């Protein structure tokens, strides 16, 4: 305590009176000097230092709504960074389907002024150069935030990384394109504001993370669902070159098999996105951008429901992710990726067997008979199971499988997992099994923050998974002494790690159906 007070006092003397702070800049204390000013964090009971609600860009409000993130204005004195900043404006969080409140943002604060990040570190000195992990939240690009309880960074920081969670603009505020926005922008593009926020956060990390004992030359970006889609987009984007060195993509890729089931999620071009923006403006009866920017954020959120997702804008995303990877233009970094056993997003009502078969035949044409061998519909019960599996594979399994194949075939290290643990639950949550997002509190070692009837096997799995994730962040390889061997993935052996009560390396169990997607519905 005395040491912390002394260091803070030295920092303040340096700031207000110009006293040299060579000594003070070496230890990682609770008061940190950034280019914009001083911040003060707090020491958790574990001894981990946390800094929450650090602004990394100017508030994107008023005239800055729908503009690329701007620099933070400097402040005087010491800014308290001991509580999360506001989550991006979105619908009020309420548990739904398999996601209890631990998987959602706090009920408050929520604001359009949302560009904040959080840092956890156990570094003692700035020269420690610990590996850095930057977590990008999920939420379909329309919800979520860095303050979601399961994203807490205390445990991973204790395992040796400097952990950062970030916010970015979502929904209409993060992914709104319009011809006038493209015209006024020096970038001649519009729409990917949430992704530009992520670039800005990574630039902040590169510039400042050494102050927290992190190594700016050893940064891993990680995310799940839309966060995973963002990770893959950053791997593809030339704007992100040099800002990170490894990537973790959990259940989401953007490399989509060519079929109608996911056409609404496929990347769209700038012209199409601009047209969608024009229609959205017409829907609410406004004619100018000034009027759109003047509308209160909550009113705008309620009135406009538009697609949120990555746009091939010619700037952040110069071409489709598919073409970028096929042409070997992506950032050449080690990749850890995978998906969950039961994360199909068919929430019902399920189709009867005959209706399911007819639907497959209508959507897949000549491919239908072969697909029905992999996803049969001999009776209604079998058809229900096939609908769940097909949803899982179309949305997550096949895209991440394709991603792993493309990246590894080009000679980059790739490690693939399948999370199969039936997540313990109470009541209605029991039916969701190894559900979408279920792996996150294991990977980030935050089971203690989730109200579930955990068993000793879950705690062991969380320790194993978080160790894999931390090892990968350190060296680009999840393996270490004392852990089951996780083989590198390649398209010949198709070996992965199965994450369950028992952790084993296995050949991917449904390789035949996934390869069919890859070779017939992606490459063709």
**Is the bond preceding 109 in cis, omega lying within 30 degrees of 0?**
yes
Distance CA(310)–CA(141), nearest Å, equals 9
Q: Does 225 participate in catalysis according to the annotation? A: yes
- Given 225, 386, 408, 467, which residue is catalytic? 225
For the stretch 237-256, what's the b/e string if a residue is b when 16 or more beta carbons lie within 10 angstroms of its beta carbon?
Answer: bebbeebbbbbbbbbbbbbb
Which residues lie closer than 8 Å to 340 by C-beta, 6 or more apart? 251, 392, 396, 418, 419, 420, 434, 435, 436, 438, 439
- Strand 116-121 relative to strand 162-166, pairing: antiparallel
Q: Does 436 participate in catalysis according to the annotation? A: yes
Contact 232, 249 (CB under 8 A): yes
Helix axes 380-392, 353-364, angle to 10 degrees: 40
- Given 412, 436, 466, 467, which residue is catalytic? 436
- Given 165, 343, 439, 467, which residue is catalytic? 343
Q: Which of 163, 244, 175 is nearest to 466 (CA)?
A: 163
Mind giving me the DSSP string for 258-315? Answer: SSGGGGGGS-EEHHHHHHHHHHHHHHTT--SHHHHHHS-HHHHHHH-----S-EE-SS
Q: Which of 426, 398, 403 is nearest to 511 (CA)?
A: 398
Distance CA(437)–CA(238), nearest Å, equals 29
CB atoms within 10 A of CB 490: 15
Kindly state the tokens that stand for 117: 């990040």
Kindly state the tokens that stand for 362: 């209508």
Q: Which long-range contacts (CB under 8 A, 24 or more apart) does 261-267 make?
A: 261/363, 261/390, 261/394, 262/394, 262/395, 264/307, 265/309, 265/395, 267/309, 267/310, 267/311, 267/312, 267/317, 267/320, 267/321
Residue in the structure block whose two tokens are 């056993």: 341
CB atoms within 10 A of CB 360: 22
Structure letter (DSSP) for residue 404: H
**C-alpha triplet 85, 86, 87: angle, nearest 5°:** 120
Distance CA(321)–CA(313), nearest Å, equals 12
Kindly list the distances between the CA atom of residue 70 and the CA atoms of 53, 56, 313, 408, in Å, as whole numbers in the listed order: 17, 9, 19, 37
Active site residues: 225, 343, 436
């Amino acid at each position: 305590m005395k040491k912390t007070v002394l260091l803070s006092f030295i920092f303040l003397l340096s700031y207000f009176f110009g006293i040299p702070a060579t000594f003070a800049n070496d230890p990682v204390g609770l008061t940190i000097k950034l280019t914009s000013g001083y911040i003060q964090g707090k020491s958790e009971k574990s001894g981990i230092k946390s800094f929450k609600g650090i602004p990394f860009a100017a508030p994107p409000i008023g005239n800055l709504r729908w503009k690329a993130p701007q620099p933070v204005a400097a402040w005087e004195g010491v800014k308290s960074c001991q509580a999360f900043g506001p989550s991006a404006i979105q619908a009020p969080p309420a548990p739904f389907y398999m996601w209890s409140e631990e998987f959602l943002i706090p009920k408050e604060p929520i604001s359009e002024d949302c560009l904040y990040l959080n840092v956890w570190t156990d570094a003692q000195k700035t020269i420690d150069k610990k590996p850095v992990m930057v977590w990008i939240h999920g939420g379909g690009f329309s919800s979520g935030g860095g303050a979601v309880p399961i994203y807490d960074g205390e445990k991973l920081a204790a395992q040796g990384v400097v952990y950062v969670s970030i916010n970015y603009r979502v929904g209409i505020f993060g992914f709104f394109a319009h011809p006038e926005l493209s015209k006024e922008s020096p970038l001649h593009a519009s729409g990917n504001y949430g992704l530009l926020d992520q670039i800005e956060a990574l630039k902040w990390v590169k510039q400042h993370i050494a102050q927290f004992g992190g190594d700016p030359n050893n940064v891993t970006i990680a995310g799940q669902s839309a966060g995973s889609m963002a990770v893959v987009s950053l791997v593809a984007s030339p704007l992100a070159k040099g800002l990170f060195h490894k990537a973790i993509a959990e259940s989401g890729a953007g490399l989509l098999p060519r079929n109608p089931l996911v056409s609404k999620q496929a990347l769209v071009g700038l012209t199409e996105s601009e047209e969608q923006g024009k229609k959205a403006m017409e829907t609410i009866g406004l004619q100018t951008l000034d009027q759109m920017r003047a509308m209160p954020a909550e009113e705008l959120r309620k009135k406009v429901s538009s697609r949120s997702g990555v746009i091939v804008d010619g700037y952040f995303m110069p071409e489709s992710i598919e073409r970028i990877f096929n042409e070997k233009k992506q950032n050449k970094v080690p990749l850890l990726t995978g998906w969950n056993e039961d994360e199909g997003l068919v929430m019902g009502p399920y189709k009867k067997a005959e209706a399911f078969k007819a639907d497959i035949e209508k959507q897949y044409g000549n491919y239908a008979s072969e697909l029905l061998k992999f996803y049969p519909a001999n009776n209604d019960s079998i058809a229900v199971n096939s609908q769940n599996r097909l949803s899982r594979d179309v949305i997550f399994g096949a895209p991440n499988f394709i991603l792993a194949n493309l990246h590894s075939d080009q000679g980059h290290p790739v490690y693939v997992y399948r999370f199969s643990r039936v997540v313990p639950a109470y009541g209605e949550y029991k039916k969701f099994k190894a559900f979408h997002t279920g792996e996150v509190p294991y990977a980030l070692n935050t089971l203690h923050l989730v109200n579930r009837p955990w068993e000793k096997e879950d705690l062991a799995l969380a320790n194993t998974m978080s160790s894999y994730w931390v090892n990968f962040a350190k060296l680009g390889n999840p393996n270490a002494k004392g852990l089951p061997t996780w083989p590198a993935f390649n398209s010949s052996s198709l070996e992965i790690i199965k994450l369950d009560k028992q952790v084993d390396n296995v050949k991917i169990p449904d390789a035949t159906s996934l390869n069919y997607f890859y070779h017939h519905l992606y490459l063709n």
